[in-house]
Amino acid sequence: MDRKEVSGTLRNKERSKLKFLDAVGKILKTKGFSALKINNIASEAGVDKKMIYTYFGGLDGLVDTYIRSQDYWINVPSSNILVDSHDGGKTLLKEMLCKQFLYVSKNEELQKLLLWGLSEERSALRKMTDLQEENGEKLFRSIFDPQFGKNAKMFRAITAILVSGLYYLDLYASVNGSHFSGVDMQSDEGRILVEDALSFLIDKTYEHLQ
């Protein structure tokens, strides 16, 4: 087999894998997670369902790969994060949480995954939360725990509330309506207000816990 043939085979494989991943996303958005079945995905992708086993080892492997490509916190490159030594990671935290807020609001497929994770136990979804925790732990241990010392656990609890609150606001706005506590979550004004409140809370956290 010459190089051109090998290269062509690899490109075909990657194209087929992307078709499967795209199919998972389309089905999630249009039919929901209950429709994520081998036959449905293969039909949507237009690729033989046997290739799901060949490329991903089965449905769980495919869904796991898809989740890794979508989740914000799994894809935070914690090893490459640059921290301003003058503020102990405060600016970094604001930036990451504001980006999470925006990313989830614009990613309908991730919204479906988050709702799926709240309603059903599945190994691929458990892997998603495990990877989120693993990346978060790296950030806490390398940046925030040393900054807050004896108050590190309290800081972790506060960030848990902030992260989950932002998730909820995005999901609420997309599923049940735009207003929450009188703030229009689908307007630029409302979302800027939330980001300003987030900045305020992080400032106060650093002011009182350091």
138 and 86 inside one domain: yes
User: What's the pLDDT band for 147 if we cut at 50, 70, 90?
Assistant: very high
Half-sphere exposure of 119 toward its Cβ, with a 13 Å CA cutoff?
9
In terms of domains, do 38 and 84 share one? Answer: no
pLDDT tens, residue by residue, 154-170: 999 999 999 999 999 99
Give dist(CA 110, CA 116) in Å, integer: 10
One DSSP character per residue, 116-170 reads: HHHH---HHHHHHHHHHHHHHHHHIIIIIHHHHGGGHHHHHHHHHHHHHHHHHHH
145 pLDDT above the threshold of 70: yes
- Residues 165, 92, single domain; the answer is yes
Residue 175 has pLDDT above 70, yes or no: yes
pLDDT digits (tens, 9 = 90+) for 114-144: 888 888 777 777 877 888 888 889 889 988 9
Structural domain includes residue 71? no
Are 47 and 91 found together in one domain?
no
Contact 206, 151 (CB under 8 A): no
Rg (CA), the chain: 20
Mean pLDDT of 181-188: 93
Residue 72 lies in a domain: no
Residues 53 and 110 in one domain: no
**Do the Cβ atoms of 97 and 166 come closer than 8 Å?**
yes
Same domain, 41 and 88: no
- In angstroms, the CA 28 to CA 76 distance is 23
Provide the domain count of the chain. 2
Q: Which residue has the tokens 């690899």?
A: 10
Taking CA atoms, 70 is separated from 11, 25, 143, 179, in Å, by 22, 10, 25, 26
Cα distance between residue 46 and residue 174, in whole Å: 30
What is the span of the domain harbouring residue 26?
Answer: 3-66
Question: Lowest-confidence range among 20-29, 72-81, 131-140, 166-175?
Answer: 72-81
Domain boundary (66, 88, 107) is at 66
Statement to judge: residues 132 and 86 lie in one domain: yes
Q: Say if residue 114 is in the same domain as residue 201.
A: yes
Please give the average per-residue pLDDT across 89-108, as a whole number: 92
178 and 92 share a domain?
yes
Token pair, residue 202, equals 């992080």
What is the share, in percent, of the chain residues with pLDDT greater than 70?
90
Query: Per-residue confidence at 29, pLDDT binned at 50, 70, 90?
Result: confident
| Distance separating alpha carbons of residues 27 and 207, to the nearest angstrom | 46
* In the chain, % of residues over pLDDT 90: 53
Domain stops at, among 18, 40, 66: 66
**Rounded average pLDDT over 36-54:** 94
**What is each CA distance from 78 to 60, 71, 86, 126, 128, in whole angstroms?**
26, 14, 19, 21, 16
Q: Which of 8-12, 13-17, 77-81, 153-157 has the highest mean pLDDT?
A: 153-157
* 180, 115: one domain: yes
Name the nearest CA neighbour of 12 among 65, 62, 48. Answer: 48
Considering the domain boundaries, does residue 73 fall inside one?
A: no
Residue 193 has pLDDT above 70, yes or no: yes
Torsion sign (Cα): 78, 61, 71, 44: positive
Q: Give the pLDDT confidence score for residue 101 in this predicted structure.
A: 95
173 and 91 in a common domain = yes
Please state the rounded mean pLDDT for residues 45-59: 93
